[in-house]
């Protein structure tokens, strides 16, 4: 039944199946006098009954779960999913049900607060705007997640799940487009986000000439503290995927992953991007599809561009370990230039580099303003890469993601302009993203891989600030009551160790 999962993986699945049985066949487990053999016989009979008939004629959790499992390590939940789209979705929902419900509360609060639209708006947008343009394969997976969550007694439906998957593109791309189209009165100003610091390097820049790719996710600390799943997905069709991710979401969403065809991928968001195509395919579908089916830079670029809806516009860093080539795809809606090299590097920190895209598809992003976080981090990133030429490896990449230099002030201080972002410590905030002073937002995870690791379907990940600092919610809220609205969802974000993950081998 299992493909060599770790011991804690199969123990978790047994517990999940046992609990499913007990939910249908209640036993007074605190009855100390129940004979051990009687207990075993009762559970065995229950298992047999469920296997034969299923609950209300539906597939049993055991049948649906197949070889799925999860385990905890270094502040992350490693989740293996395998099978058809419906099976993968059900496994996802069942294994992460509590985490999905928790993440739902975060995204609901953040999205409604930012846009001044209620959650029913986002459910309806998921149903009417996104669903008709989602491939059947991923519709089945999304439905499976809802069924898996419901099997654990959690009352979320598929439209909640779709809205969660659209949490990057609906509030920050679709809503501004809709407000403008409807001439909405008193609508809040919403700028496309600018999150993350990353680089990819190859050839003479790296130790041994192998590709090295690194990324830290910048997000709100409320969602970032939950962005701690390592998904190992073995689909019935396409390539096996290893990626970080958010509970309930079918793509990485901050987009760091490798596949068994040798692709190594990450991205950072294009600051102040403007654009939306209501007939396009959601970004969360295109990014998942590209990682699942691409075996080359050209294939990845084709799939991520196909049906582009403009949502969650990113600069994509793409590597092919088979050839050593790396690419940089600036994915606007109308402008999509691709640069590629076999000896060199690309850094990315939420700046757009194509003048035509900047002119036509941003709200006047100023690439010359070196006080702006995207540009300040670009200066630091290029400096660090050039200083490390020929020595770049996984360890150096970890240090890169933890860097606290502010290139504008020329000081070493954790703030909104350091590669490891700490906007909660910055009295300036980040105006270009509409983030006010001391906003609880910044670098929440780090991930690194090189060509050798990717060849073994492996990566190294860090939960929490890559620098090692902890974020503590209670003292922060006491010092900054302006963020009191986040109290129901803001929790401590402890910094974990750099932890290596790899798919099991047969």
What are the 10-residue block averages of pLDDT along the chain, 506 residues in total? 37 39 33 33 35 38 84 98 98 98 98 97 98 98 98 98 98 97 92 90 98 98 98 98 98 97 98 97 98 98 98 97 98 98 98 97 96 98 98 98 98 97 98 96 98 98 98 98 98 97 90
pLDDT of residue 60: 53
- Residue 192's φ and ψ, nearest 5 degrees, are -60, 140
pLDDT of residue 62: 61
d(CA 40, CA 421): 53
CATH (domain of 492): 3.60.60.20
Longest CA span, the chain: 77
pLDDT of residue 505: 83
Please report whether residue 103 resides in a domain.
Answer: no
pLDDT of residue 195: 86
pLDDT of residue 447: 98
Please report whether residue 62 resides in a domain.
Answer: no
Please report whether residue 110 resides in a domain.
Answer: no
Domain that holds residue 400: 197-502
Give start and end residues of each alpha helix (H) in 388-472: 394-401, 451-455
pLDDT of residue 28: 30
Domain boundary among 51, 70, 90: 51
pLDDT of residue 316: 98
Please report whether residue 147 resides in a domain.
Answer: no
Using alpha carbons, select from 134, 170, 129, 127 the residue that is nearest to residue 281. Answer: 134
Element spanning 474, H or E = helix 473-479
Please report whether residue 149 resides in a domain.
Answer: no
Beta carbons of 250 and 288 less than 8 angstroms apart: yes
Please report whether residue 21 resides in a domain.
Answer: yes
Using alpha carbons, select from 261, 233, 229, 259 the residue that is nearest to residue 244. Answer: 229
pLDDT of residue 61: 58
CA dihedral 402, 327, 241, 174 (to 10 degrees): 80
Element spanning 99, H or E = helix 97-115
Q: What angle do CA 217, 220, 223 make, to 5 degrees?
A: 85
Please report whether residue 132 resides in a domain.
Answer: no
pLDDT of residue 15: 37
pLDDT of residue 289: 98
Instruction: Using CB atoms within 10 Å of the CB of residue 368, give its burial: 0 to 12 exposed, 13 to 18 middle, 19+ buried.
Output: exposed
Please report whether residue 101 resides in a domain.
Answer: no
Total number of domains in the chain: 2
């Amino acid at each position: 039944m299992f493909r060599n999962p770790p011991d804690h993986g199969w123990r978790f699945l047994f517990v999940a199946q046992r609990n499913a049985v007990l939910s249908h066949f209640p036993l007074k487990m605190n009855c100390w006098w129940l004979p051990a053999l009687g207990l075993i016989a009762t559970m065995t009979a229950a298992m047999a009954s469920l296997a034969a008939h299923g609950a209300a004629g539906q597939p049993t959790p055991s049948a649906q779960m197949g070889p799925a499992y999860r385990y905890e390590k270094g502040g992350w939940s490693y989740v293996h999913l395998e099978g058809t789209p419906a099976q993968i979705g059900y496994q996802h929902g069942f294994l992460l049900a509590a985490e999905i419900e928790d993440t739902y509360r975060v995204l609901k609060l953040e999205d409604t607060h930012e846009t001044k639209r209620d959650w029913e708006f986002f459910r309806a947008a998921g149903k009417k705007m996104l669903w008709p343009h989602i491939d059947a394969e991923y519709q089945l997976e999304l439905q499976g997640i809802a069924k898996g969550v419901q099997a654990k007694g959690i009352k979320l439906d598929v439209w909640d799940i779709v809205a969660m998957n659209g949490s990057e593109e609906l509030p920050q791309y679709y809503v501004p487009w809709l407000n403008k189209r409807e001439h909405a009165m008193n609508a809040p100003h919403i700028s496309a986000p600018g999150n993350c610091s990353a680089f990819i390097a190859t050839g003479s820049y790296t130790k041994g000439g192998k590709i090295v790719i690194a990324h830290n996710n910048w997000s709100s600390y409320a969602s970032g503290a939950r962005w701690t799943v390592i998904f190992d997905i073995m689909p019935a069709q396409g390539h096996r995927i290893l990626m970080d991710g958010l509970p309930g979401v079918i793509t990485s969403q901050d987009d760091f992953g490798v596949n068994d065809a040798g692709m190594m991928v990450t991205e950072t968001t294009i600051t102040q991007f403007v654009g939306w195509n209501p007939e396009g395919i959601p970004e969360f579908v295109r990014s998942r599809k590209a990682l699942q089916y691409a075996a080359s830079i050209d294939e990845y670029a084709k799939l991520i561009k196909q049906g582009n809806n403009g949502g969650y516009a990113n600069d994509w860093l793409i590597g092919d370990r088979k050839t050593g080539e790396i690419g940089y795809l600036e994915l606007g809606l109308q402008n999509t230039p691709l640069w590629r090299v076999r000896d060199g590097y690309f850094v990315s920190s939420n700046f757009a580099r194509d003048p035509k895209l900047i002119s036509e598809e941003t709200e006047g992003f100023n690439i010359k303003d070196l006080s702006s976080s995207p540009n300040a981090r670009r200066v630091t990133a290029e400096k660090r890469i050039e200083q490390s030429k020929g020595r770049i490896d996984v360890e150096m990449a970890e240090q890169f993601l933890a860097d606290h230099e502010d290139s504008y002030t020329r000081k070493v201080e954790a703030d909104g302009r350091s590669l490891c972002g700490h906007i909660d410590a910055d009295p300036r905030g980040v105006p270009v993203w509409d983030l006010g002073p001391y906003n609880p937002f910044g670098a929440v995870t780090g991930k690194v891989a090189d060509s050798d690791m990717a060849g073994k379907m492996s990566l190294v990940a860090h939960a929490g600030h890559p620098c090692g600092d902890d974020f503590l919610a209670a003292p922060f809220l006491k010092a900054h009551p302006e963020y009191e609205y986040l109290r129901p969802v803001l929790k401590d974000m402890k910094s974990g160790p750099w932890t290596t993950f790899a798919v099991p081998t047969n």
